[in-house]
């Protein structure tokens, strides 16, 4: 391969969130678990994260690497290098107090409004990644591959494309095409990129500035988190206006299915559970189910089908279907336990459903990791009826815990759950289709031996990161070859 060393690559993962420090969704779980799996497979892996307070507090033995000074509206920017708690992987942290040290979420203030300077906050993240790639931020280590996650890190790909002497390749992973990082057109002047980047063939998107397009257009390889979603985003229905751009990259867009962190999600040693279990000793699962019913104040009913949901409450997740189906489901003997947070209208509707169905429906509006584990373990069935789902992790947690996933056939849900074999899959995004699917679960439940066999098949499914990590390593080689032979450039 021309000029590309086939040895273990040095890889820099760039992201805005990481479990357990900062998490708004599955992205954080992936960013915590994929890098150690790549290290296990032989890569030399480091992370680059913004210096949000929980990250600055937790990173161990951080020492300054370089004083960057004033940039992107921040008066003082420093790059630190420390170790991730738990994995001990090296992690670069950008300490930019003016941009990152604030209470609230990574993208939003406590009142739910986007931080008004997100374009600066995430341009800085990409810019530092590119300087690490160019070996001028840390003279002792530089990556062969920069792996940027979602729009927050996407600008790294444009900055690398702007600096042709950089040998590092870039890989961009789309975790969710619906969140694109759109800003007013005139903000492009803050980025420090040549004007040819701000063309429709670059970062311009219908008169706006799109961070997502920086990844889609300028990464040497684009990936998404399931094979089905990789196909779907090339269509008008799922492309969020970017399907033409995706189709333009044709063979350079790959779908690599996520794994799960089997150390964090393992019913055999999960400290959050009332009892531990595995496929050989399933008694503990029944104890988890009873403990969940008791702790939530649900009727202690062994005959009911206990259906749980752990989810962001947004239109993506299709939970309006559950609301519409609920009267029929409750009549059929289903109990629902839901934990989630998100759109106020959905929160209010689920609270109302709880009031109308005492003992049968319990709703916890909020975010709680421990209870999430209890809801996964205690369920007979865990529902993920999404309208679209790039991969989805909760159905995989369900498989691992023998809680049969009931999902819509879309994106990674259809790629991970086998209808009738490891869970239940329905097609139409309608309450009737959901009810019919739940009735198939109720029917299977009348045959305890068949139900247990299904649980055991689900629990035996390989969900580890080892396979995906090797797929990424192969993709990194392709990206490096592309960068060496035909680097991406802005044509204006
Ligand atoms: P997404 O990233 O689209 O939200 P995923 O299924 O990939 O969907 O990941 C969701 C992650 O967030 C899972 O780890 C899930 O357990 C967690 N999660 C979602 N809502 C909550 C909540 N209210 N409390 C605790 N964990 C939650
Ligand atoms: C996004 C997607 C979800 C996926 C997660 C991790 O948040 O919505 O489907 O599992 O990223 O890749």
Q: How many angstroms is it from 457 CA to the middle of ligand 2?
A: 24
Nearest ligand, CA 175: 2
Looking at residue 409, the DSSP 8-state letter turns out to be S
Query: CA 279, CA 281: separation in Å to the nearest integer?
Result: 6
Q: By three-state DSSP, how is residue 106 classified? A: coil
Residue 350 CA, ligand 1 centroid: distance in Å: 17
Among protein residues, the one whose CA lies closest to atom 22 of ligand 1: 367
Which residues, including other chains, have CB under 8 Å from residue 331's CB and lie 6 or more apart? none
DSSP letter (8 states) at residue 446: T
In the reported structure, the alpha carbon of residue 25 is separated from the centroid of ligand 1 by a whole-number distance in angstroms of: 5
Q: For residue 343, what are its two tokens?
A: 């759109």
C-alpha Rg value of the chain to the nearest Å: 23
List the domains of the chain with CATH numbers.
10-259+466-485 (3.40.50.2000), 283-459 (3.40.50.2000)
Instruction: Specify the pLDDT at position 2.
Output: 44
Give ligand 2 pocket residues (Cβ under 6 A): 25-27, 30, 175-176, 225, 258, 389-393, 412
Question: Distance between CA atoms of 301 and 335, rounded to whole angstroms?
Answer: 9
Pocket test for ligand 1, best of 22, 33, 259, 310 (most atoms within 8 A of CB): 310
Question: What residues in the chain have per-residue pLDDT under 70?
Answer: 1-6
Of the listed ligands, the closest to the CA of 226 is: 2
| Bridging pattern class, strands 74-83 and 60-71 | antiparallel
The residue nearest atom 17 of ligand 1, judged by CA position, is 25
Nearest ligand (C-alpha, residue 410): 2
| pLDDT at res. 8 | 87
One DSSP character per residue, 85-99 reads TTT--EEEEEE-HHH
CA dist 299 and 317 (Å) reads: 27
Q: Quote the CA–CA distance of 226 and 229 in Å, as a whole number.
A: 5
Q: With CA atoms as reference, report the closest residue to 382 among 319, 299, 457.
A: 319
C-alpha 15 – ligand 1 centre gap (Å): 17
C-alpha–C-alpha distance, residues 360 and 335, integer Å? 5
Q: How far apart are CA 221 and CA 479, in angstroms?
A: 6
Residue 310 CA to ligand 1 centre (angstroms) = 6
């Amino acid at each position: 391969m021309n000029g590309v060393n086939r040895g273990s690559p040095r890889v820099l993962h760039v992201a805005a969130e990481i479990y357990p420090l900062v998490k708004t969704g599955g992205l954080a779980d992936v960013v915590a678990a994929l890098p150690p799996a790549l290290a296990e497979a032989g890569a030399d892996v480091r992370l680059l994260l913004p210096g949000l307070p929980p990250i600055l507090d937790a990173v161990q033995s951080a020492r300054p690497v370089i004083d960057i000074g004033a940039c992107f509206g921040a008066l003082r920017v420093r790059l630190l290098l420390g170790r991730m708690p738990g994995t001990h992987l090296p992690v670069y942290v950008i300490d930019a107090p003016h941009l990152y040290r604030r209470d609230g979420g990574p993208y939003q203030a406590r009142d739910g409004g986007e931080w008004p300077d997100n374009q600066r906050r995430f341009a800085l993240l990409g810019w530092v990644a590119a300087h690490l790639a160019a070996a001028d931020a840390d003279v002792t280590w530089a990556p062969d591959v920069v792996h940027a996650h979602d729009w927050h890190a996407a600008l790294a790909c444009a900055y690398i494309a702007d600096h042709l002497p950089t040998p590092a390749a870039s890989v961009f992973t789309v975790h969710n095409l619906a969140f694109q990082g759109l800003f007013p057109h005139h903000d492009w002047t803050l980025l420090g990129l040549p004007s040819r980047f701000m063309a429709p063939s670059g970062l311009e998107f219908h008169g706006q500035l799109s961070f997502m397009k920086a990844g889609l257009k300028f990464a040497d390889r684009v990936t998404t988190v399931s094979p089905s979603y990789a196909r779907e985003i090339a269509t008008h229905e799922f492309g969020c206006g970017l399907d033409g751009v995706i189709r333009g990259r044709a063979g350079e867009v790959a779908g690599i299915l996520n794994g799960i962190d089997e150390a964090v999600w393992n019913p055999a040693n999960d400290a959050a559970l009332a009892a531990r279990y595995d496929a050989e000793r399933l008694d503990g699962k029944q104890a988890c189910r009873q403990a969940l019913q008791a702790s939530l104040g649900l009727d202690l009913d062994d005959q009911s089908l206990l259906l749980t949901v752990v989810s962001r409450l947004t239109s993506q997740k299709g939970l309006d279907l559950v609301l519409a189906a609920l009267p029929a489901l409750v009549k059929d003997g289903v109990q629902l336990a839901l934990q989630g947070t998100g759109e106020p209208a959905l929160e209010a509707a689920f609270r109302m459903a709880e009031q109308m169905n005492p003992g049968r429906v319990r709703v916890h509006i909020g975010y709680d990791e421990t209870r999430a584990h209890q809801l996964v373990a205690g369920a007979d069935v865990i529902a993920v009826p999404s309208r679209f789902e790039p991969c989805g992790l909760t159905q995989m947690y369900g498989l691992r815990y023998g809680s049969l996933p009931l999902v819509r056939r879309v994106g990674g849900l259809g790629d991970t759950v086998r209808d009738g074999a490891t869970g239940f899959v329905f097609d139409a995004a309608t309450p009737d289709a959901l009810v019919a699917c739940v009735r198939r679960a109720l029917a299977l439940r009348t045959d305890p031996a068949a139900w247990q066999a299904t649980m055991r098949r689900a629990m035996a499914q390989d969900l580890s990161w080892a396979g995906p990590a090797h797929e990424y390593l192969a993709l990194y080689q392709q990206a490096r070859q592309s960068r060496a032979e035909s680097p991406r450039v802005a044509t204006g």
